């Protein structure tokens, strides 16, 4: 008996009957665990209407009132994080400790949004002209859409929702149809925290729901995270429809290892960042660039570490890496391994034959390592989004840098070295939005902002942090005179300050 997952509109589960539904799978068994409703344009309209109705009241709620809800939500999320981690594992497949990690990061974003009062302060200039004061106010946009990917079903919605509602907006969240339950759990916790009905709505579905939000005249802004082709489409369609859009896309993150690096540290980092969450992270390291003579030793150390990794059901505490998210994604990732072999890369560790006891139907692929990968091979050019790590050999720092800067993606990168000068040069010269120095997954903390460059982000605002508040507000500047209003009569000249 499978459950049903439906929309959350106006503070309650949607009670209608969906025209279309999708299957949600347990990736560790391959079994259908539930059916999720797919929104048609009329459900999109319902969700946007609920958010529109809620907007005047929420916009008018004091900063103290809004942050009170966020503080209460923070407490509830912290208390229930174990339950949410289990939900994430059941539909995504990642191990529970990893799911707990994404929720910990999500909590930091909520905590940051609790400081909305500080972030929303405007500026004030007294006596800008004689007797004239000028001040700025940050006001909410209205109804905003958040469209999120499968790989962080809790964290990515909580990159945006807290700042959006703290700023006084109302939200329609469209999570991934592959793991939709986390979004409903979050919406229910917000309701319990005292968020008024309609301020946060969850709409499930596919392209129909996304297009509905992109085209709806009452949706003022879209925050999207997903693959690059869809991010580009969302950016182009949303902006054409007059919306403010930030669309974060895919990645191919390089980790450069210089000859003077601590190779044990680098090997630990490459394995952790390459295979954590089965490589289904936008900040996963998918390419290691071994510079100069370190290649053989580094590859040996990485291979040794891979042999100790435990792949299994994410609910079992001893598992370190879970399955891939769906059968289709499993087939796609495996086809890249086949293509890598055909193109002549050296397959050092082959994850294709893996078997997990008692779970034959799961979407398993073991950690896979290629060496001597060339930039023209598809395992280098394409975002695989699986547990496949490619090692490229480079003669010099300059060659490594050229490789990264020539890549269309620019999400994250890292350098491993003991040479501070080389690291300083790299952070200055690399064309990537988030850079790690001896840190393989440089996801910025909540009080900075997250965003890549080039094909990894369309739009000019990064996610969360200060740029998140900037994205979800528009500025109004007031010029006012109260004292000694001049009665100088009509003057058609351009106003001058004096």
410 binds ligand NAD (CB under 6 A): no
Question: Which of 282, 325, 391, 415 is labelled catalytic?
Answer: 282
Closer residue to ligand NAD (CB): 225 or 414: 225
| Segment interacting with ligand NAD (CB under 6 A) among 6-14, 135-143, 174-182, 482-490 | 174-182
Closer residue to ligand NAD (CB): 168 or 279: 279
Please select the residue that binds ligand NAD; options are 184, 411, 413, 449, rule is CB under 6 A: 411
Closest distance of CB 224 from ligand NAD, Å: 7
Closest distance of CB 271 from ligand NAD, Å: 20
Give the pairing of strands 473-481 and 132-140: antiparallel
| Distance between CA atoms of residues 40 and 19, nearest Å | 7
Q: Judge whether 362 and 340 are in contact, CB under 8 Å.
A: no
Closer residue to ligand NAD (CB): 295 or 387: 387
Task: Give the pair of three-digit tokens for residue 189.
Answer: 């916790």
Closer residue to ligand NAD (CB): 103 or 132: 103
| Segment interacting with ligand NAD (CB under 6 A) among 61-69, 143-151, 305-313, 345-353 | 143-151
Closest distance of CB 258 from ligand NAD, Å: 26
Closer residue to ligand NAD (CB): 417 or 456: 456
Closest distance of CB 176 from ligand NAD, Å: 4
Closer residue to ligand NAD (CB): 195 or 248: 248
Residue sitting closest to ligand NAD (CB) = 226
| Distance between CA atoms of residues 233 and 223, nearest Å | 13
Please select the residue that binds ligand NAD; options are 206, 218, 262, 350, rule is CB under 6 A: 206
Closest distance of CB 59 from ligand NAD, Å: 27
Strand segments, DSSP code E, in 167-324 are 170-174, 200-202, 219-225, 244-248, 253-257, 285-291
Closest distance of CB 206 from ligand NAD, Å: 5
| Distance between CA atoms of residues 271 and 276, nearest Å | 8
189 binds ligand NAD (CB under 6 A): no
Q: Looking only at residues 214 through 273 of this chain, which bind ligand NAD when binding is defined by CB under 6 A?
A: 225-227, 230, 248-251
Q: Looking only at residues 289 through 348 of this chain, which bind ligand NAD when binding is defined by CB under 6 A?
A: none
Please select the residue that binds ligand NAD; options are 149, 314, 440, 459, rule is CB under 6 A: 149
Binding mask 82-121 for ligand NAD (x = CB under 6 A): ----------------------------------------
Q: Looking only at residues 368 through 407 of this chain, which bind ligand NAD when binding is defined by CB under 6 A?
A: 383, 385
Task: Give the pair of three-digit tokens for residue 242.
Answer: 């007059």
Q: Give, for 141, the enclosing helix (H) or strand (E).
A: none
β partners of residue 257: 290, 416
Where do runs of H (alpha helix) occur along 241-326?
A: 263-275, 295-307
Please select the residue that binds ligand NAD; options are 282, 384, 394, 422, rule is CB under 6 A: 282
Q: What single DSSP character describes residue 350?
A: -
Residue carrying structure tokens 């369309």? 458
User: What are the φ/ψ torsions at residue 484 (nearest 5 degrees)?
Assistant: 45, 50
Q: How far is CA 404 from the centre of its chain?
A: 21
Closer residue to ligand NAD (CB): 286 or 368: 286
Residue carrying structure tokens 């990917």? 149
Three-class SS state of 415: strand
114 is catalytic: no
CA nearest to 384, candidates 394, 369, 362:
369
Per-residue exposure over 186-198, b if at least 16 CB sit within 10 Å of its own CB, e if not: bbbbbbebebbeb
Q: Judge whether 169 and 140 are in contact, CB under 8 Å.
A: yes
Please select the residue that binds ligand NAD; options are 6, 21, 456, 461, rule is CB under 6 A: 456
Closer residue to ligand NAD (CB): 121 or 207: 207
| Distance between CA atoms of residues 267 and 309, nearest Å | 13
Q: Looking only at residues 346 through 365 of this chain, which bind ligand NAD when binding is defined by CB under 6 A?
A: none
150 binds ligand NAD (CB under 6 A): yes
| Distance between CA atoms of residues 267 and 301, nearest Å | 6
| Count of positions on this chain that bind ligand NAD (CB under 6 A) | 27
207: which residues sit within 8 A by CB, 6+ positions away?
none
117: which residues sit within 8 A by CB, 6+ positions away?
63, 64, 67
Closest distance of CB 211 from ligand NAD, Å: 6
Closer residue to ligand NAD (CB): 206 or 218: 206
42: which residues sit within 8 A by CB, 6+ positions away?
none
| Segment interacting with ligand NAD (CB under 6 A) among 147-155, 351-359, 416-424, 475-483 | 147-155
Residue carrying structure tokens 């174990």? 82
Q: Judge whether 178 and 24 are in contact, CB under 8 Å.
A: yes
Q: Which residues are catalytic?
A: 282
Residues that bind ligand NAD (CB under 6 A): 147-152, 156, 174, 176-177, 206-207, 210, 225-227, 230, 248-251, 282, 383, 385, 411, 452, 456
């Amino acid at each position: 008996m499978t459950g049903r997952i439906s929309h959350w509109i106006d503070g309650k589960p949607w009670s209608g009957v969906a025209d279309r539904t999708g299957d949600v799978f347990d990736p560790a068994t391959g079994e259908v665990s539930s059916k999720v409703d797919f929104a048609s344009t009329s459900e999109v309209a319902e969700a946007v209407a609920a958010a529109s109705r809620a907007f005047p009241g929420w916009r008018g709620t004091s900063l103290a009132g809004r942050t009170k809800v966020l503080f209460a939500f923070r407490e509830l999320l912290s208390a229930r994080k174990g339950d949410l981690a289990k939900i994430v594992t059941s539909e995504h497949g990642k191990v529970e400790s990893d799911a707990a990690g994404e929720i910990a990061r999500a909590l930091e974003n909520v905590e940051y949004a609790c400081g909305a009062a500080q972030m929303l302060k405007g500026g004030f200039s007294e006596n800008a002209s004689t007797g004239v004061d000028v001040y700025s106010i940050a006001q909410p946009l209205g109804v905003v859409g958040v469209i999120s990917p499968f790989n962080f079903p809790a964290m990515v919605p909580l990159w945006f929702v807290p700042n959006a509602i703290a700023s006084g907006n109302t939200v329609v969240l469209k999570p991934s149809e592959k793991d939709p339950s986390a979004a409903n759990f979050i919406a229910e916790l917000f309701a319990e925290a005292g968020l008024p009905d309609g301020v946060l709505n969850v709409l499930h579905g596919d392209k129909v729901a996304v297009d509905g939000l992109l085209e709806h005249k009452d949706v003022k802004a879209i925050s999207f995270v997903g693959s690059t082709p869809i991010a580009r489409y969302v950016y182009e369609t949303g902006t054409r429809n007059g919306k403010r859009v930030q669309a974060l896309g895919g990645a191919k993150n390089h980790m450069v290892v210089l000859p003077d690096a601590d190779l044990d540290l680098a090997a630990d980092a490459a394995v952790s960042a390459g295979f954590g969450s089965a490589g289904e992270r936008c900040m996963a390291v998918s390419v290691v660039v071994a510079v100069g003579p370190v290649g053989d030793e580094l590859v040996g150390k990485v291979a040794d570490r891979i042999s100790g990794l435990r792949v299994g059901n994410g609910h079992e505490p001893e598992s370190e890496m879970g399955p891939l998210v769906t059968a289709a994604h499993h087939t796609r990732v495996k086809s890249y391994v086949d293509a890598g072999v055909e193109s002549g890369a050296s397959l050092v560790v082959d994850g294709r034959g893996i078997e997990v006891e008692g779970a034959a139907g799961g979407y398993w692929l073991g950690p896979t390592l290629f060496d001597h990968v060339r930039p023209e091979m598809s395992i280098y050019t394409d975002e695989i989004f699986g547990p496949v790590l490619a090692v490229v050999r480079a003669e010099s720092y300059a060659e490594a840098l050229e490789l990264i800067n020539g890549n269309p993606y620019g999400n994250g990168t890292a350098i491993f070295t003991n040479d501070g000068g080389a690291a300083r040069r790299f952070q200055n010269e690399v064309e990537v939005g988030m850079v790690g120095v001896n840190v393989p997954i440089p996801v910025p903390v909540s009080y900075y902002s997250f965003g890549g460059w080039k094909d990894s982000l369309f739009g000019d605002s990064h996610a969360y942090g200060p740029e998140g508040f900037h994205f979800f507000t528009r500025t109004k500047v007031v010029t006012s005179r109260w004292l000694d209003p001049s009665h100088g009569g009509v003057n058609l000249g351009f106003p001058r300050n004096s």
